[in-house]
Amino acid sequence: MSVLLAAYFSTIARLLPMIVCGLAGFVWGKRGAAYPTAFVSTLVTYLAIPALVFHTLMTTPLEADALVLILGASTAALLLAAVLVAGLLWLFRLPVAALGQTAWMPNAGNLGLPMATLVFGAEGLTVAIAFFAVSSFLSFTLGLRWLTGSSGKVSRQPVVWATLLAVGARAVDIESPIWLLDSASMLGSLAVPLMLLTLGHALSQLPRSGLKAGALVALARFISGALVALALLTISGLPQAIAAPIALQMVMPCAVNSYLFARLHGTQGDASAGGVLLSTLAFVVVAPFLLWLIGAA
């Protein structure tokens, strides 16, 4: 037992930089201090994340065919999770259309990218970024169609274009100028701390009225993610360096963007908020065990 506790607290210590950044945003929001959420979100979405994606994919030692494999595996993992989520929400007697995207999409941005860097280093970040690009694409296509019956405009998502540009350049052996890579590195370094601060602030503003249904949404998110992660690690046949980072992304909590979509386009905004809040809090508690599950702790 003492060995298990020591491993648990050792992992918590590794997570503390992320927890501190998120907690800073949470306290900031609870104090009622001004936080330019719209500006920060726009800055991160349209500048910092695309720069981080481009720099990481252009400088990773992974070959272009490995990147294509990661994109394909990420797509398959998310599509399988969508089927599982639909079944789980039906069993829980929750509205599948209204809450499907919230339970389906993991927080591959605010939490997924920092976690991948922390646990797997630069190569893991590359896998996580490719996964994030796929999840962004699916969120604005299948995810929005699931919720509203119509898709969003993927052409407006710079992360998708940054991914296609980098993978295309790697495929035909086009090297990026050093000044461009350095610029992308500098801009990309803004992404992780700003995402964690914004996540903490967003959690401080979520309504608490949907906690009962939100608990079931969070449960669907973790059950579906854990089952897909287990399949990735045991029967997928993927190399461990690819399977483990994708598995980590699959057990992330509900994404804040899903709550925003549910609030704007659906009828279950409070339940979606409860899912985001409870799944994030639960993740902080059980993260060391999840890392042990995927063999990363």
SS3 285: helix
- The mean pLDDT value for 11-17 works out to 74
pLDDT of residue 37: 80
Q: Supply the DSSP string of 59-97, one letter for each residue.
A: H-SS-HHHHHHHHHHHHHHHHHHHHHHHHHHHHTT--HH
- The mean pLDDT value for 108-127 works out to 86
pLDDT band, residue 5 (cuts 50/70/90): low
Domains of the chain are 9-293 (1.20.1530)
Q: Kindly tell me if the per-residue pLDDT of 89 is higher than 80.
A: yes
Higher pLDDT, 230 or 257: 230
Residue 193, Cβ density class (10 Å: 0-12 exposed, 13-18 middle, ≥19 buried): middle
pLDDT of residue 79: 96
Extract long-range pairs of 122-125: CB within 8 Å, 24+ residues apart: 122/56, 122/60, 123/60, 123/61, 123/62, 123/241, 123/245, 124/241, 124/244, 124/245, 124/248, 125/56
Q: Convert the pLDDT of each residue in 241-288 to its tens digit.
A: 999 999 999 999 998 878 877 777 777 878 888 888 889 889 888 887
- Please give the backbone phi and psi of residue 93, each rounded to the nearest 5 degrees, phi first: 60, 40
State what percent of residues in the chain have pLDDT above 90: 31
pTM value is: 0.84
Higher pLDDT, 225 or 168: 225
Q: Convert the pLDDT of each residue in 206-221 to its tens digit.
A: 777 778 889 999 999 9
State what percent of residues in the chain have pLDDT above 70: 92
Q: What is the mean pLDDT of the chain?
A: 85
Q: Kindly tell me if the per-residue pLDDT of 155 is higher than 70.
A: no
